[in-house]
Amino acid sequence: MSNVSEILTKSRMVSRPSSQEFIESVFDDFFELHGDRHYEDDMAIVGGIALLEGMPVTVAGIQKGHTVKDNVSRRFGSPNPDGYRKVMRLMEQAEKFNRPVIQFINTSGAYPGKGAEERGQGEAIARCLYMSAGLKVPVISIFIGEGGSGGALAMAAGDRVWMLENGMYAVLSPEGFASILWRDPSRSAEAAELMKITAEDLLKNGVIEKIIPEPEEGLENNLSFTAEILKKELIKELDILCSKTTDELLEERYRRFRKFGDYSE
pTM attached to this predicted model: 0.94
Q: How far is CA 135 from the centre of its chain?
A: 17
Beta-sheet pairing, 160-164 with 28-32: unpaired
Q: Do residues 56 and 29 make contact, with C-beta atoms less than 8 angstroms apart?
A: no
Per-residue pLDDT of the chain (265 residues; tens, 9 = 90+): 458 889 999 999 999 999 999 999 999 999 999 999 999 999 999 999 999 999 999 999 999 999 999 999 999 999 999 999 999 999 999 999 999 999 999 999 999 999 999 999 999 999 999 999 999 999 999 999 999 989 999 999 999 999 999 999 998 888 888 999 999 988 988 898 899 999 999 999 999 999 999 999 999 999 999 999 999 999 999 999 999 999 999 999 999 998 886 644 4
pLDDT at 261 (0 to 100): 67
pLDDT at 260 (0 to 100): 80
pLDDT at 1 (0 to 100): 40
pLDDT at 87 (0 to 100): 97
Type of residue found at 111:
Y
pLDDT at 211 (0 to 100): 97
Query: 3-253 in CATH: which number?
Result: 3.90.226.10
Domain parsing of the chain, residue ranges: 3-253
pLDDT at 262 (0 to 100): 61
CA atoms within 13 A on the CB side of 87: 36
